[in-house]
Structure 1
Amino acid sequence: GSCKGQFAVQDRETGQSKPYWVGAQSLYGNAGRDLILRFQRVSPMELSPHDPSVIYYGSQHLHRSRDMGVTWETMSPDLTAFPPHAQGASGEPITRDVTGEEFYSTLYAVRESPHQAGVIWTGANDGPFHITQDDGDSWQDITPPDLPEGGRVAWIDVSPHRRGSAYYAVYRYLLGDYAPYIYRTDDYGQTWSRLTTGDNGIPADWPTRVVREDPDREGLLYAGTEFGLFISFNNGGNWQPFHLNIGNIPINDIQVKNKDLVIATQGRAIWILDNLSALHQITAEVTVAESHLFAPRDGYRTSTAAHLLGPNIDYYLPTPTSGAVTLDILDQAGGTVNSYSSAQPPRGGGRGGGFGRRGGGAPAPSVTTSAGFNRMVWDVRDTEGLPVPPGQYQVRLSVGGESQTQQFNVLIDPRVESGGVTVADLQEQYEHNKTMNAMVVEVDALIERVQEAQNTGDANLQRRIAPIAEQLITAPIRYSSPGLRDHITYLQGMTARVDMKIGRDAIARHEVLRVELDEITRDANAILGSGN
């Protein structure tokens, strides 16, 4: 961490933390005007995106270490406003309270350009913006002329798409000004555009804490405010609320990782929105179409958390619909693997993944009909509840008599693959499990015929069918010898619990049970007739 010019380097092998200081001056009990270097509680610390051995650290100056903190160089002048009236000791003269981190006029944000080594942007907690384009040899004050003095530069985001472009988020609510301040420059700070006018989506009295441009779609911005999350599809021209289920809470940090949105809140946990691919695909044409099915991101077949890691099926409805919305999962030949409809209640919720697979309590896939974005996470299971093998699949969205289809892949869990299991193994497992399911259905149908015969009141028929029933059904006595049905369901459960190459004994056992079931079926048909 970074505080008061202090930080530590953790050795994971020994468990030792080596403490280092920038300046190594005790800050305790001092007034800001008396310090050589001023730091605050969350001093900015940045690793160079071009050289991981280079560390930047902010006081009122920018400091740099090339040897993991052993030595430091000061590479800038004072980059703060340093108003004299704000340099006293906290609480003086009556309740002096100075633990070494209550200082104004310090750097609060530092970013090196990912495009150009030596292009570094800074922002202070008393207002000024600065940039160097020559690795600290010279610095320019690039503070927007319309930004009121004294604001805290809470965040800098250098555009991942364009050289010379950056976004700054500033707040001044500690000074009684609750206006949102987000700025963008496209020319290294020579000119600025304020992206929060108070009438373009973010309310005029909602302070801003963080802004981030999506690395996969240029101009797609996320903004964290004191009261929730916002999104812009036109580089800050307009904003829309994007609170979803997190509510109106302060957003302190935003990251886009592996096309997922991760946000850190002020005391309300870390939240993740999985799969931003629909946001990357949406256009103005999509929002006025009768419906739109986005190309899904590939998902994983897993034995746990299938409701999180399976393919995300995203679709857009411009208005709520009272008619049925249907999502059909198809194989590459167009055969139906599973089907879901808003007209039917979700089925299968709370299962342990089917036949004892881990992950019980997961919600069943459901089809919603709300205006805007809708999502169904497919649990990678067919109509029988079996996890399907990895491969290529299709999803078909049907709304109001119109259909559209997109392709996607189900991928093998890389952890399973690293254990030596192949896609061919999972295909064999799937086919075996379907065969076992069919055998259970077959034996249950035979048992139903036998029990009907037992309940006819025909004593002769009951006597003749009794040996068949004894072979099929386990007697209701503790530790009775299992009937054929229990042998079949026992084998069925053995091979459906985890992703695996099934044992050869299971295949051999299936063949034995197949012969036994065929023999008993012939005997039953001889008594009951094959048409019963």
Structure 2
Amino acid sequence: MVHRRACLFVAALVLALAPAVPLGGQGRSEPALQVETLLKGIEYRSLGFSRGGRSTAVTGVPGKPLVYYLGSTGGGVWKSVDGGMRWSNVSDGFFEAGSIGAVAVAESDPNVVYAGTGSACPRGNISSGVGVYRSTDAGKTWKHAGLREAGQIGRIRVHPRDPDLVYVAALGHIFGPNDERGVFRSKDGGKSWQKVLFVSNRTGAVDLSMDPNNPRILYAALWTAERRPWTITSGSAESGLYKTTDGGDTWTKCKGGLPEGVVGKIAVAVSPANPERVWALIEAPDTKGGVYRSDNAGERWSKLNGERRFLQRAWYYIHIYADPKDPETVYVLNTGFYRSTDGGKTYQAISTPHGDNHDLWINPNDPNVMINANDGGANVSFTGGASWSTQMNQPTAEFYRVAVDTQFPYRVYGAQQDNSTASVPSRSEAREDLAFYSVGGGESGHIAVDPRNPNIVYAGSYGGAITRLDAGTRLTRSVRVYPESSTGQRAADMKYRFQWNAPIRISPHDPDVVYTTSQYVHRTRDGGHSWQVISPDLTRADRTKLDYSGGPISRDNTGVEVYGTIFAFEESPQQRGLLWAGSDDGLVHVSRDNGATWKNVTPAGIPEFATVNTIDPSRHDPARALVAVYRYRQDDDKPYIFRTTN
């Protein structure tokens, strides 16, 4: 989401600063040229917040136990040459996308590194990729290497003796059908590609495992997965596990004891210690899902373990890895990190610096040396998981929104995905760990700071959670609108449909007035002790999009897919009581009488069920406003920006 939101922000800034330029106008005007000059002079600097963010791709380098790469879901590719003590970004200036789904180093030439963009652990607000990049100087420089429409890339495997022979598992567009998905092979280092395994334009490849003893043998996991703003689909009869013994020229679907019919996400791992042994972790209906093992190279399979802890939220997890030395040891990643030493029958949990685990690389020369990726970043272990390196040294945090206060120097606030909220000074000489603190709320919400007293902070999270912090006393209390948990519910049954990222706004005219939104606009005048509904339902409320999320195998109702909500809200800074509301299903409403009545002013040209992401009322003229709209979650990457002057 980082690159799309940045584009919308910059576009809105250009329009705000250059009102003489029509949205559909031709040519260039003097104000536009002035804006370009202004933007060229802007330089970004780090505020020093170095807590790691989500990572779903990591790798190391055999023979170089201190060298590692991590791929973050928004911050590109990073490299460490000291065992995870320090990380440096190596993709900035080369990559067109920040989301990374796979990283692989050529064993025969560690200067050759491949990176696949687009994480294949598809959250509801995931960023798409733009294909594969290749480096021939260990990450110093990169060139684009094709597969631009591959969407999300789940795995890259490089031939152990030929750095130009590479395979890619491409899941494809997660928000719609496309043909550039499946397993691809390049024999010339990415200059050209062959699609060697393809099922349909809705089913892609999410995992690949290569037999290191015979690299002509590969196993590929194919998965039907698609997201919409209101649901996720995981699984179909097209999903399955495939094997090739001729380097990808031909493939055979594995059966022999594996679940048949509708199957969901699959992970696969060949044991380097015994290539006849292959593990698969499979999402499947009823009690058929779980850990499977073959001891004859995929001919016959037996189910060993079906514990729910390995299958929960399968679309986000489902990962399995074989120990390179011991054929009895296998790892399964989910919210926890698990190891089996009895061939996959029973598992022990291993503590990691952060939960929600997505990738693991184990050094083939020493299984005690490994790197793990999770929702807190990447961490290295030299002790088989008994201890790990820190994640407080990789500034890859994903922030949904940013707010500032009125102090001097001012502080900056945001909610970090799968972590806490954060407040950091815009400038400080203090140590980072002393300057940073959380302000309540949770991982996904907006933050609003009282302009009279920056100690008073309202912070949100999913399900309508809101807290009010008094930083002076360090007291935090819940001020949510309604005591209802959205977890496990369908949106149609909720009294108030709060989005994962629901707005919180303090009135620019009266800081005692605070707003938040569900399908309604809510207002408090007493610090959140009580709330008033001041609007009707301002969404389409299409009941076909308010059902349970997930299927056909697993349901997933945690709040991300709650739909038919007010996603953007503002009060005019020029006129008290002039209120704007935009919904995630494509409507814009305005109230000119402080919420007593509302009028639908949806611009002509907003596609149906698009998301109104931002409304920016003019600071100078109450009749003017900009509206930024996106529809990428329905596989439409075009930006939509509208302006009103009346």
Q: TM-score range by the shorter chain?
A: 0.3 to 0.5
TM-score of the pair, normalised by structure 2: 0.31
Q: Which protein has the bigger strand share? A: 2
TM-score of the pair, normalised by structure 1: 0.38
Which gives a bigger RCO, structure 1 or 2 (Cα 8 Å, sep 6+)? 2
